[in-house]
């Protein structure tokens, strides 16, 4: 069957019906659509406009099911509770209540997984298209390839953070002949390689891109700026791989600034415009029914003068559900159009601190940690200079600085500290990984 690319307003969102991993067994009549190009037409001598539609749709698709992803990471990582009057699985399955386990065939597993692979499919089509057209320059080709491989790597990494033990599929070019699941270490190596390939393309892409990115990429919307974004992601992957010397090298090419410009970075953006989407994790203060409550340990553990306390807001009345109670709303976002960070300078400073701790450069690590501490109203670090103590301090600063940004569960897992996360009810579990999605068991 033919696969059509449908354009919706967010300056043109692409929905690719031939996702393979996502829509198994679909039957669509082979009726030409004059208003929407087919995948086949894009793959055959695509114009700049065709390719730019793929770029815009790829960026737009990155936002799909973000709310579910952040709930998954934050609830299991004991950053917040997701109270839902309509769905008890947020407080049962995700927290391991009683005999509850993570379901391999329900929305919190399958939706984020499929959403990321839809974007991967877009990038694969973009990569194939630029190699099969004579209507672009070589510098333009390099720009498209650098964009596509960087975003593909990021999307694969998000799925790997959920599927830590099962691993992920890397080769999904042919939906009828999917590649095997690749275990965590090899998957991280392949993601790192993909980012390095993307960096090489960006370095050869000239001064400007032939496409336009959203305001979320302000300052990073040309090959040089996007290369800094790519190297920032590469530094994140390097610490996941425990390649700490590499992380320091990649940071040199990123947008790292060792100062308090914490929010400089790349963001998902949202708007209330017709056809666009709103920030999926914003909830108004003191809401009821569908709410996100800060885990009580956040307020219990943060210092009184730490300005990161503003990431939560005390409610007029405590909220309770399923044996859980909290007095503070997650208040990281103030409106339903606030951007969500993909990666920002505060994380890079903390990666710099971590890499210096793990390579034995203690004084430089403490300097970086103090930039974070003093930037949030705390005094200089005065604890032990042992590696173990500095790792604990680094993880504590990541906990509060990167709150509700999808890192806490990952950080505690990679340092084998999941047992230190609080248990809310007798019999609750802290999961190490999501199960392989049911739809993948057939392949």
Specify if 309 maps to a domain. yes
Specify if 315 maps to a domain. yes
How would you write the chain as a 3-class SS string? CCCEEEEECCCCEEEECCCCCCCCCCCCCCCCCCCCCEHHHHCCCCCHHHHHHHHHHHHHHCCCCHHHHHHHHHHHCCCEEEEECCCHHHCCCCCCCCCCCCCCCCHHHHHHHHHHHHHHHHHHHHHHHHCCCCCCCHHHHHHHHHHHHHHHHHHHHHHHHHCCCCCEECCCCCCCCCCCEECHHHHHHHHHHHHHHHHHHHHCCCCCCCCCCCHHHCCCCCHHHHHHHHHHHHHHHHHHCCCHHHHHHHHHCCCCCCCCCCCCEEEECCCCCCCCCCCCCCCCCCCCCEEEEECHHHHHHCCCCCHHHHHEEEEEEEEEECCEEEEEEECCCCCCCCCEEEEEHHHHHHHHHHHHHHCCCHHHHHHHHHHHHHHCCCCCCCCCCCHHHHHHHHHHHHHHHCCCCCCHHHHHHHCCCHHHCCCCCCCCCCCCCCCCCHHHHHC
Q: In this structure, are residues 206 and 141 in contact, taking their beta carbons and an 8 Å threshold? A: no
Specify if 93 maps to a domain. no
Q: In this structure, are residues 21 and 100 in contact, taking their beta carbons and an 8 Å threshold? A: no
Specify if 295 maps to a domain. yes
Taking the CA atoms of residue 391, residue 392, residue 394 and residue 399 in that order, the dihedral angle to the nearest 10 degrees is 140
Specify if 317 maps to a domain. yes
Specify if 74 maps to a domain. no
Q: In this structure, are residues 191 and 206 in contact, taking their beta carbons and an 8 Å threshold? A: no
Name the residue range of residue 308's domain: 290-330
Specify if 312 maps to a domain. yes
Specify if 326 maps to a domain. yes
Give the pLDDT confidence score for residue 372 in this predicted structure.
Answer: 98
Given the structure tokens 């340092």, which residue do they identify? 415
Q: Which residues pair with 329 in a beta bridge?
A: 293, 313
Q: Residue 436's CB: how many other CB atoms inside 10 A?
A: 17
- Which residues in the chain land under pLDDT 70? 1-38, 442-443
Which CA distances in Å does 114 have to 107, 250, 303, 437, 438? 10, 30, 39, 9, 12
Give the pLDDT confidence score for residue 40 in this predicted structure.
Answer: 73
Q: Which of 260, 130, 238 is nearest to 193 (CA)?
A: 238
Q: Which residues pair with 292 in a beta bridge?
A: 82
Q: What's the predicted TM-score (pTM) here?
A: 0.92
Give the pLDDT confidence score for residue 175 in this predicted structure.
Answer: 85
Domains: count for the chain: 1
Dihedral over Cα of 172, 36, 149, 167: its sign: negative
Inter-residue long-range contacts of 275-280, CB under 8 Å, 24+ positions, other chains counted: 275/8, 275/9, 275/10, 275/13, 276/9, 276/10, 277/10, 277/63, 278/336, 278/337, 279/333, 279/335, 279/336, 279/337, 279/338, 279/339, 279/340, 280/63, 280/66, 280/67, 280/70
Give the pLDDT confidence score for residue 39 in this predicted structure.
Answer: 74
Task: Report phi then psi at 355, rounded to 5.
Answer: -65, -35
Q: Kindly report, residue by residue over 355-402, the tens digit of the pLDDT.
A: 999 999 999 999 999 999 999 999 999 999 999 999 999 999 999 999
Given the structure tokens 């769905």, which residue do they identify? 87
Give the pLDDT confidence score for residue 160 in this predicted structure.
Answer: 98
Give the pLDDT confidence score for residue 443 in this predicted structure.
Answer: 56
């Amino acid at each position: 069957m033919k696969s059509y690319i449908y354009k919706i307003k967010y300056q043109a969102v692409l929905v690719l019906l031939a996702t393979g991993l996502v829509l198994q067994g679909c039957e669509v009549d082979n009726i030409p659509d004059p208003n929407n190009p087919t995948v086949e037409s894009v793959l055959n001598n695509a114009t700049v406009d065709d390719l730019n539609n793929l770029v815009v749709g790829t960026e737009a698709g990155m936002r799909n099911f973000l709310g579910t992803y952040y709930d998954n990471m934050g609830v299991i990582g004991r950053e917040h509770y997701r109270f839902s009057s309509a769905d008890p699985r947020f407080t049962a399955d995700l927290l391991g209540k009683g005999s509850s386990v993570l379901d391999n065939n329900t929305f919190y597993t399958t939706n984020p997984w499929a959403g990321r692979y839809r974007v991967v499919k877009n990038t694969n089509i973009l990569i194939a298209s630029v190699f099969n057209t004579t209507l672009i320059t070589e510098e333009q080709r390099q720009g498209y390839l650098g964009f596509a491989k960087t975003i593909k790597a990021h999307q694969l990494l998000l799925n790997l953070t959920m599927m830590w033990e099962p691993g992920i599929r890397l080769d999904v070019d042919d939906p009828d002949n999917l590649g095997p699941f690749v275990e965590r270490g090899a998957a991280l190596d392949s993601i790192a390689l993909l980012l390095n390939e993307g960096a090489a393309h960006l370095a050869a892409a000239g001064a400007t891109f032939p496409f336009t990115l959203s305001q979320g990429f302000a300052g990073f919307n040309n090959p040089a700026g996007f290369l800094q974004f790519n190297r920032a992601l590469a530094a994140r992957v390097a610490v996941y791989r425990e390649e700490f010397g590499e992380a320091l090298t990649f940071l040199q090419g990123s947008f790292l600034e060792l100062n308090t410009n914490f929010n400089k970075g790349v963001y998902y953006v949202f708007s209330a415009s017709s056809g666009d989407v709103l920030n999926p994790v914003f909830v108004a203060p003191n809401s009821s029914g569908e709410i996100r409550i800060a885990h009580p340990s956040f307020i219990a553990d943060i210092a009184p003068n730490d300005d990161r306390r503003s990431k939560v807001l005390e409610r007029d009345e405590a909220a309770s559900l399923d044996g859980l109670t909290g007095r503070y709303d997650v208040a990281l976002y103030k409106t339903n159009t606030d951007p969500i960070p993909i990666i920002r300078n505060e994380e890079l400073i903390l990666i710099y601190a971590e890499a210096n701790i793990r390579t034995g450069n203690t004084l430089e690590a403490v300097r970086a940690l103090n930039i974070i501490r003093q930037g949030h109203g705390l005094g200089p670090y005065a604890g032990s200079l042992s590696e173990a103590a500095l790792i604990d301090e680094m993880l504590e600063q990541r906990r509060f600085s990167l709150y509700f940004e999808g890192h806490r569960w990952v950080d505690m897992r990679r340092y084998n500290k999941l047992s230190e996360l609080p248990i809310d009810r007798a019999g609750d579990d802290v999961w190490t990984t999501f199960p392989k999605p049911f739809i993948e068991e057939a392949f």
